[in-house]
Amino acid sequence: MYEDFYAHDPLTGNRFHCIYQALILALATRHADAVDIKFLVDGKPVWIVLPHPAWVEYNRRTGRTLTDAMAVQIAGHYLKGAVESGENGGREMHTLRLEEVFSHLEQLAAEER
């Protein structure tokens, strides 16, 4: 659903092709307690950063595991919303707070229903 999608920026009128490229533990690359999810937006890298504690909190709340595939969906859902609301602004890195992760999870679940 959100591994390969198009998003329209209302401010510029541009249509962007967004493609998931990688999921990397930020501890190894930036010494951060996060997971970096890389998308190419019309060929330019954009990183969506999910806080690593989201995996622990998701398990605590649901008893299930937050999978890498779910993380990609969360990041893609966020990115599409950021582009379509004009909030992307050409930024290369977007960092989500813990509650934002769960808000996007809820929105994804609602879309599936």
Task: Report residue 38 as tokens.
Answer: 């890389």
What pLDDT is recorded for position 90?
76
Reported as type and span, the H/E element at residue 5 is strand 4-8
CATH number where 13 lies: 3.30.160
For the CA atoms of 13, 18, 23, 27, the dihedral, rounded to the nearest 10 degrees, stands at: -20
Say if CB 2 and CB 73 are below 8 A apart. yes
Question: How confident is the prediction along the chain (113 residues), in pLDDT tens digits per residue?
Answer: 899 999 999 888 899 999 999 999 877 677 778 999 999 999 999 999 999 999 999 999 999 999 999 999 999 999 999 999 987 777 899 999 999 999 999 999 999 88
Task: Report residue 5 as tokens.
Answer: 């999608």
49: containing domain: 4-112
Q: Which of 25, 43, 34, 6 is nearest to 95 (CA)?
A: 34
Total domain count, the chain:
1
